[in-house]
A and B are shown apart, each in its own frame.
Chain A
């Protein structure tokens, strides 16, 4: 890798650190009675309401359908994810310093695997929230209805339109991965000109 490519790689490797500042995902809920919307932001390390009381209010509404309250403390992944991202930053920087395409390849594979695992885990949480309802305390029971929010995109859940989209940190991760993959590709050894 050229000096420039290594510098860019180091830069790309540091990008996942954006997750310390920005959320990975955003779920927004709109309903006739909530024209201003409710929403939550999923960070690598916590889940927060968009407005200060949004999460409590979402949990309050969810009690009608028997959905378990969403609390960051109940999601162990939020304790590991910062470390995984830190490891990703570290190994990416090491690949740049060591000038190792092999290490970079390994980094890319691990990154992709982790990203897919993360998405699957997120989907699984959504599935569980949406399907494992406490029917004892559910007030509104519609046979066959589940309340799984979409992974990406919008979906109508009773009176709410739930929209789920990647946010700042997820975009930073995407840029980091694409950037690093491009560097890997462009820095491939070329056949010497004859």
Chain B
């Protein structure tokens, strides 16, 4: 292929690649049946749910494949004014940390929970990179239920990869930092800076906790994956900056010919912790959890972790030399091959689980680092993919013996064969892919029909929108020998990574509304007649219902400037997709969006006297524009009596919906006095 030879000649420059390599015209990129392959007719469903990390949006976006239609944004680490997440009283605690409220983060890796090494659709995990956190999203509601802060860490990048039964998810530090963090000179990096690998117990909702942390050399830890089959019981993490540079890393951290993949025997670590070989390490961190009954989040601060020094547990970690600043570490479906994505490497190195175990048994060591044995490269390597392209980053698998690796610099996906290491096919991407995703492609059983390339650069792919563009994804059909480009669609934030699973796994277990009878929020209002206004010092609590097409009460008086006014609104509808919203003139927060049967609370501190309207913000019915009310605000000390009335119109509607015996009375009258 002359084109790729030219690319080789400009290794690492990543500049003009067009010399003698004319880009094909857009109409030549796809073959004729591509439209049919991705067309999902109105009213029909897609085959897959795809969960894309929102990157610097701090959220998760859900797309349908193969159509590429966006279904939802799930708020996780960032406030989300669209539905009030992180603004309303119920969800504000989700964003608490030991640094205070952190209303934004950078999400990188979505990870579906697994059973026997296969995605099972129970939960989706996602990491917050900037302020290290991991979150659990429930997939019957598409809502974030739990967030755990990771102490003794900075940059939670190698996260939240799961073990085969989601016993643990992991989080490794991107940045090494002083542990515990302390005021030290940055030049003391080599003495004072360390990394940690956290193993987080994740198999019980609401009970996420750090099982233990491994104290590691002061490198950058990049990505991880759990072993399976012959590598079962092991976890692999890539490292870079083994040079331990702390300035101008782009140069100083790229000097070593090889960095390491750290192989962690987590079963042994578990045992060492059980035997008391880890030390209780004072560490403050937040655990935030959404109570399923009250639907109110709670914060609890924890104070200690079990810190395991590898020296105290010999055999718990080995280092596998791997060229060069490896990024991804991906395990094939059989668990035998451990693929390193050396972003500056000229080959794709593949380690063998069997050879690693043999090398450990034979002590084929090349010295040690702080007591952690370094295995000989030749002793663990199964093969190298030669001339794969430039800038290999991530690899996924189709379950048919093939691997697919993204090439960031040469902007392509390369298909190669496990075992023979020969390159079978290459397909350009637009442009510079980071991760790629095959549904189940990191698991024991990939659904190897589609491949999604997640690109970092968009440029001219869509109608231009100024200087800041959406990011871009490309969908390929990989069912045949050759990869076929099917679809190109824009994505939100930066979709670092994605996971997907067949729609059938999730489609039929969606919660359609919350049972009002089971709503145990302390602020629930179950019937129109139960709404009220009460005062406790400067706090005024208003309990209110929303139903098509009114609030009750909807005329409120007795509030004074400077009061903390809490609107507790309950949507008493019990029907799917009948949502209501709530907003007050001049409020300093976001609206409430109320799912059927749900109670949400808004805090409002009025600053000046007057009458303030409120209204329903989610178009609910033909009389949506009538769904409104007023709250009167008086001067401080005005002592206007508290009043919660309903307007005449709402009152007549309410009278109809009173308790059953009264209705029966009414009924008889209307039906002819029987």
A74 at the interface (CB under 8 A from B): yes
**Complex Cα spacing A164 to B246, Å:** 77
Do B670 and A60 touch (CB < 8 A)?
Answer: no
**Complex Cα spacing A128 to B575, Å:** 27
- Provide the residues of chain A in CB contact with B667, threshold 8 Å: 68-69, 71, 74
Do B664 and A134 touch (CB < 8 A)?
Answer: no
**Complex Cα spacing A69 to B663, Å:** 7
Do A71 and B660 touch (CB < 8 A)?
Answer: yes
**Which of A56, A68, A134 sits near B574, CB closer than 8 Å?**
A56
A residues 30-66 with Cβ under 8 Å of B? 36, 53, 56-57, 59-60, 63-64
Q: Which of A111-119, A136-144, A145-153 sits within the interface?
A: A136-144
- Provide the residues of chain A in CB contact with B387, threshold 8 Å: none
Do A60 and B663 touch (CB < 8 A)?
Answer: no
B5 at the interface (CB under 8 A from A): no
Given contacts A71-B664, A73-B660, contact A63 B671 (CB under 8 A): no
- Provide the residues of chain A in CB contact with B672, threshold 8 Å: 128, 132
**Complex Cα spacing A63 to B528, Å:** 15
**Complex Cα spacing A76 to B674, Å:** 10
Look across to chain A and name the residue whose beta carbon is closest to the beta carbon of B547.
Answer: A60
Look across to chain B and name the residue whose beta carbon is closest to the beta carbon of A34.
Answer: B575
Do A134 and B668 touch (CB < 8 A)?
Answer: no
**Complex Cα spacing A45 to B289, Å:** 46
Look across to chain A and name the residue whose beta carbon is closest to the beta carbon of B671.
Answer: A128
**Complex Cα spacing A57 to B672, Å:** 25
Do A74 and B573 touch (CB < 8 A)?
Answer: no
Given contacts A57-B574, A132-B672, contact A74 B663 (CB under 8 A): yes
**Complex Cα spacing A27 to B549, Å:** 25
- Provide the residues of chain B in CB contact with A132, threshold 8 Å: 670-672
B3 at the interface (CB under 8 A from A): no
B355 at the interface (CB under 8 A from A): no
Do A68 and B660 touch (CB < 8 A)?
Answer: no
**Complex Cα spacing A60 to B547, Å:** 9
Binary contact track B634-674/A, C-beta < 8 Å → 1, others 0: 00000000000000000011011100110110111011101
Given contacts A73-B664, A74-B664, A139-B623, contact A63 B670 (CB under 8 A): no
- Provide the residues of chain A in CB contact with B664, threshold 8 Å: 71, 73-74
**Complex Cα spacing A57 to B671, Å:** 22
**Complex Cα spacing A36 to B657, Å:** 25
**Complex Cα spacing A76 to B664, Å:** 10
Do A68 and B573 touch (CB < 8 A)?
Answer: no
Look across to chain A and name the residue whose beta carbon is closest to the beta carbon of B623.
Answer: A139
- Provide the residues of chain B in CB contact with A134, threshold 8 Å: 656, 670
**Complex Cα spacing A63 to B660, Å:** 15
**Which of A60, A137, A139, A140 sits near B655, CB closer than 8 Å?**
A137
- Provide the residues of chain A in CB contact with B573, threshold 8 Å: 60
A residues 123-140 with Cβ under 8 Å of B? 125, 128, 132, 134, 136-137, 139-140
- Provide the residues of chain A in CB contact with B574, threshold 8 Å: 53, 56-57
Do A140 and B656 touch (CB < 8 A)?
Answer: no
Look across to chain B and name the residue whose beta carbon is closest to the beta carbon of A76.
Answer: B674
**Complex Cα spacing A95 to B86, Å:** 73
Binary contact track B610-638/A, C-beta < 8 Å → 1, others 0: 00000000000011000000000000000
**Complex Cα spacing A91 to B305, Å:** 79
**Complex Cα spacing A134 to B670, Å:** 8
B295 at the interface (CB under 8 A from A): no
Distance (whole angstroms) from the CB of A78 to the closest CB of chain B:
12
Given contacts A68-B666, A74-B668, A137-B653, contact A60 B548 (CB under 8 A): yes
Given contacts A74-B664, A128-B670, contact A69 B548 (CB under 8 A): no
Do A63 and B661 touch (CB < 8 A)?
Answer: no
- Provide the residues of chain B in CB contact with A73, threshold 8 Å: 660-661, 664
Look across to chain A and name the residue whose beta carbon is closest to the beta carbon of B672.
Answer: A128
Do B660 and A137 touch (CB < 8 A)?
Answer: no
- Provide the residues of chain B in CB contact with A74, threshold 8 Å: 660, 663-664, 667-668
Do A64 and B622 touch (CB < 8 A)?
Answer: yes
Binary contact track B80-99/A, C-beta < 8 Å → 1, others 0: 00000000000000000000
Do B663 and A136 touch (CB < 8 A)?
Answer: no
- Provide the residues of chain A in CB contact with B661, threshold 8 Å: 73
Distance (whole angstroms) from the CB of B624 to the closest CB of chain A:
12
Do A53 and B657 touch (CB < 8 A)?
Answer: no
Distance (whole angstroms) from the CB of A47 to the closest CB of chain B:
12
- Provide the residues of chain A in CB contact with B670, threshold 8 Å: 68, 128, 132, 134
**Complex Cα spacing A132 to B574, Å:** 27
**Complex Cα spacing A56 to B573, Å:** 9
- Provide the residues of chain B in CB contact with A64, threshold 8 Å: 622-623
- Provide the residues of chain A in CB contact with B622, threshold 8 Å: 64, 139-140
- Provide the residues of chain B in CB contact with A69, threshold 8 Å: 656-657, 663, 667
**Complex Cα spacing A178 to B663, Å:** 39
Distance (whole angstroms) from the CB of B510 to the closest CB of chain A:
13
**Complex Cα spacing A59 to B653, Å:** 12
**Complex Cα spacing A125 to B674, Å:** 12
Distance (whole angstroms) from the CB of B332 to the closest CB of chain A:
43
- Provide the residues of chain A in CB contact with B575, threshold 8 Å: 53, 57, 60
**Complex Cα spacing A74 to B653, Å:** 19
Look across to chain A and name the residue whose beta carbon is closest to the beta carbon of B549.
Answer: A139
Distance (whole angstroms) from the CB of A109 to the closest CB of chain B:
26
**Complex Cα spacing A125 to B623, Å:** 28
Given contacts A128-B671, A132-B672, contact A63 B653 (CB under 8 A): yes
- Provide the residues of chain A in CB contact with B549, threshold 8 Å: 139
**Complex Cα spacing A128 to B669, Å:** 11
Distance (whole angstroms) from the CB of A33 to the closest CB of chain B:
9
**Complex Cα spacing A134 to B654, Å:** 13
Look across to chain A and name the residue whose beta carbon is closest to the beta carbon of B575.
Answer: A57
Distance (whole angstroms) from the CB of B315 to the closest CB of chain A:
57
Do A136 and B652 touch (CB < 8 A)?
Answer: yes
Do A137 and B663 touch (CB < 8 A)?
Answer: no
Distance (whole angstroms) from the CB of B43 to the closest CB of chain A:
9
A residues 1-47 with Cβ under 8 Å of B? 36
Binary contact track B572-607/A, C-beta < 8 Å → 1, others 0: 011110000000000000000000000000000000
- Provide the residues of chain B in CB contact with A76, threshold 8 Å: 674
**Complex Cα spacing A56 to B517, Å:** 14
Distance (whole angstroms) from the CB of B549 to the closest CB of chain A:
8
**Complex Cα spacing A57 to B547, Å:** 11
Distance (whole angstroms) from the CB of A108 to the closest CB of chain B:
29
Distance (whole angstroms) from the CB of A86 to the closest CB of chain B:
24
- Provide the residues of chain A in CB contact with B668, threshold 8 Å: 74
Distance (whole angstroms) from the CB of B579 to the closest CB of chain A:
13
Q: List 19 A-B contacts (CB under 8 A).
A: A53-B574, A53-B575, A57-B575, A60-B548, A63-B656, A68-B656, A68-B667, A69-B656, A69-B657, A71-B660, A73-B661, A73-B664, A74-B660, A76-B674, A132-B672, A134-B670, A136-B652, A137-B653, A140-B622
Q: 5 smallest A-B Cβ distances: which pairs? A: A74-B664, A53-B574, A137-B652, A74-B667, A128-B671
Binding site for B on A (CB under 8 A): 36, 53, 56-57, 59-60, 63-64, 68-69, 71, 73-74, 76, 125, 128, 132, 134, 136-137, 139-140
Given A73-B660, A74-B660, A132-B671, 16 more pairs with CB closer than 8 A: A36-B576, A53-B574, A57-B575, A60-B548, A60-B575, A63-B653, A64-B623, A68-B656, A68-B666, A68-B671, A69-B667, A71-B660, A73-B661, A74-B667, A132-B672, A137-B652
